[in-house]
Structure 1
Amino acid sequence: MRIRPLAVDALIAAAPTTVAVLVAQEATAEGWPALDAAGYALLGAVNLPLIARNRAPVAVFLAAVLMWTGYITAGYWPVVNSYGPMLAFYTVTSLRTARVSAGCAVLLAAVWIYAGVLAPRASMPSVVGQAVGFPLILWWFGTLARRSAELTRRLRREQAERARRAVMEERGRIARELHDVVAHHMSVISVQAGLGRFVFDSDPPTARTALGTIADTSAEALEELRRMLQVLRQEEGDGAPPGPMPGLARLGELVERVRAGGLSVELRVEGTSRPLAPGVELCAYRVVQEALTNVIKHAGRARTTVELRYGRHEVMVSVIDDGEEVIQDRLPTGPGHGLIGMRERAKLYGGTVRVGPRSEGGFAVRLTLPTSPQAVRHRDDAQGDDAPG
């Protein structure tokens, strides 16, 4: 259950009010008149505004000091109602500039000395020492609190900026890889177009087959271009490394390399293997690669299983290990690229990725990707319709 800030302020305001009521019981023993109805009313007038101290610290401080001055002038024991103004002053120093808090400190000290002047048996050196010492201590702690809050806000802004840059860098890297996928499609289209033109008169069936391949490949290329434009946010500085993009057919090679490095890993394939869009295969391959890297970093010699399952309209890959390390080390606590890359890739292809500990122990990364371009398009359109205009 989350406690509302107003409720917290009300509880804090109740603390000096309660202390004031308890201290007031000792007034007669100290030679001061006991609080009557007017005294309790002034006591409430000093402390109740503290509920709004974080919203209007200077106004609350001025109201508390004004009511406290009236309380002192009425002849009541000043100590009883001193806690509210001091709390209000601390709030001013923790939320406002040093210049504002200095002015409030002078006012608090002046009222304190005024109370000493009216007190029949007060020692003025002691009163002046208290009038200077208490505001100085409160100003010190309030200033520390204000600087700590400013530092926290600055750190949060810097973390948010680092996370934003990490997302942009990851999107740029994905866009570079998609660029190579599109280039592959265009190469296929170019070859098939040349073949179709060459056999257009002599071998019409082959020409029709080439045209069909061009139609299918161009549709996939348009999908990849749409995705690339969706993630591309800034001009690319360098190209992607040359060579064919990895896919699901190379998962075995990936598992063998990891196994050669000392990790006990097994690959399981369920369903009928079939060729998928290169971008979908690249997405699945990269997620498995990142998940295995995560196991090597955090789970040591844990037994790991890579599961690849072909569904009718989707493909699912899971990386499951039985590591017994501290799970908190595996969960994202900063702007790391690994989880960001998984999420960005899954979102780009209309899929989902789940990362977290298993109830029976260990850790799991599960990715589900739709394999039908129509399904992805319909999901993207639905998300666009739900987006605010």
Structure 2
Amino acid sequence: MSDHSGTVTDAVDVPGPPRLTKWFDERLTRVGVTGRFARDCLLAALLTVLTFLILTLLFRIVAPAQGLTFGPARAWLVIALCSGQAMLLCLRRVRPLLCLALVVGVQVPVIVLSVPEATIRGIAPFVAAYTVGTLLPVRPALLAAGAAVVVETASAAVAVRTAGAAELAVGEPGSGPLATSVGQLAASALTYLGLVFVGSYVATYRRYLQLVRVRADEAVRAQQATVRAAIGAERARMARELHDVAAHHLSGMVVQAAAAERLIDPDPSAAKTAVAWIRSQGKETLDNLRLVVGVLRGRPGDSDGNDPVPGLAMLDDLVRGARQLGTPVEFVRHGPHRDVPPIADVALYRIVQESLSNARQHAPGAPVRVELRFRSRKVSVEVHNGRSIRRAEPRSSTTGGVGLVGMRERAHLIGGQFTAGPTATGGWSVAVTVPTTGDDARATGATANANGDNRR
């Protein structure tokens, strides 16, 4: 879609990064913490402090309240190991598998020191498993998480058996080595496999958002290209219409003005007649320009819908007007007149109109022959003019071949073949052929004579 200024805007509402994430990213960049490793080191330092505080609270308050007996030395050793484990997270994105392996390696002595009383686990295993899930494909991530579960479960089983937990908990359901191993297995599976699944889901969602953004950008670029192409096509159509209307009428006015200038002294009455014709032609030109501009703007109030649309049926009037300007024009029609597609009808009329204007400007006084041929599956128009018999009126500037460009574009738009160039006799020839279907072969009015040749 586009706003009132004409610029194309994105009509697709694509979710961007969360505001909190963007806010942290801006603040970290502002203080100079850039890059994955630097930011992971900062995260590792923060999680190390948090792990130390949580485990200290656990061993000082929670464990005694639950009746768990941990000696001071063993408690501080577990706290030190878990804090060091959190420091390993600085490798979580630069070397995710190595980080997970080191975290699991540190977790083994933590399990040995904490069972059978409890299973102590810091923050690092959760973060490491989540990171592996976000950075690695699903299969390698699950294999790494499964290996971590096996290692931790085996370590817990060995630690329980070595400590003689079976003898200490005989007859107490849920407290034997088997129950401890199953509990450790469930905790490890929930930690590593669960967080890997969560990380994989987050990574998939991020890729989906990125794909949506890319497709939205492509849609916006395609929309902008379509708008630019439409604007270019509309400008070309406006240029063709305005040039055809203005060039035809104004070239005749220039011819009559030159004639009136020569007749002012020897024949004032004829000069007045010529000036009156110029005045009427100027009024007609203004009316036609208003009609063209109104149609191009698409305003319903600019036309009542009854204005005649130029077409092949109006070639007689066009030729008659050219003759009034002093150009000897012969119009020959071959074959019975029939309907052609409206766009082709207008285009062929405009091409003949422009050809007559060019002949009047570049070869004044030269005879012109217009041939219209209706064939079984095509319609063709040819305009030939001979060598100029008098000098053309000087022009202040060149048109740069706008007329030929417009005719060629019209022929291309209706799928016709267009040729234009000098003839062997020193004149100029324009020819265009448009294919038609059998449905266009219906006669629309009076037909030509038996041999299909009608001269005017």
The normalised TM-score by structure 1 is 0.44
The structure whose Rg is larger is: 2
